[in-house]
């Protein structure tokens, strides 16, 4: 098979494979990252009223023997950033598309916890490790 035939076959087969899988080409360009812990936090005020929900991503620090926040996000009204279990596994994931990007992002972890608090765990973690020293999730498209 020459180069032209290979390219032609690829241009014909790829859309067919994508269509037959029920997916879109964007799913093949997904940014996949792993963290040590995903937390879904429900924050309440001093009177017990619900303020907001947030998802927090942590990395384990062996040096300090604790988790450090690397990123967080508010859960939107559509609940698109709610952690979900990967079917048939013990992994959890959060999937969303950043504003201004067409590349979906997925963050996975083997550990998940759900908390209800009056203290913001992400803000409290800033007292242990200043935000400027945090690791972060990669930027989309890199």
- Which pair of structure tokens corresponds to residue 5? 């035939």
Number of H helices, E strands in the chain: 2, 8
pTM, rounded to two decimals = 0.73
Share of the chain above pLDDT 90, in %: 53
51: left (phi over 0), alpha (psi -120 to 50) or beta: alpha
pLDDT for 140: 56
- DSSP bridge partners of 85: 92
Task: Judge whether residue 15 has pLDDT over 60.
Answer: no
Percent of the chain with pLDDT over 70: 77
pLDDT of residue 60: 95
- Of the ranges 22-31, 45-54, 67-76, 83-92, which one carries the lowest mean pLDDT score? 22-31
End-to-end C-alpha distance for the chain, whole angstroms: 33
State pLDDT tens for residues 42-58.
Answer: 999 999 999 999 999 99
What is the pLDDT confidence band of residue 29, given thresholds at 50, 70 and 90? low
pLDDT > 80? residue 132 = no
Please report the pLDDT score of residue 19 as a whole number: 39
81 with 55: CB under 8 angstroms?
yes
């Amino acid at each position: 098979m020459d180069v032209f035939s290979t390219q032609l076959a690829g241009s014909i087969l790829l859309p067919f494979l994508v269509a037959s899988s029920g997916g879109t080409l964007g799913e093949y360009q997904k940014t996949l990252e792993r963290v040590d812990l995903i937390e879904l936090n429900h924050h309440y005020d001093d009177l017990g009223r619900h303020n907001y929900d947030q998802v927090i991503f942590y990395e384990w620090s062996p040096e300090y023997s604790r988790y450090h926040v690397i990123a967080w996000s508010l859960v939107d009204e559509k609940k698109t950033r709610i952690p979900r279990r990967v079917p048939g596994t013990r992994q959890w994931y959060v999937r969303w598309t950043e504003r201004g990007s067409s590349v979906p992002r997925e963050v996975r972890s083997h550990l998940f916890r759900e908390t209800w608090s009056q203290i913001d765990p992400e803000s409290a973690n800033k007292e242990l490790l200043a935000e400027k020293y945090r690791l972060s999730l990669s930027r989309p498209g890199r």
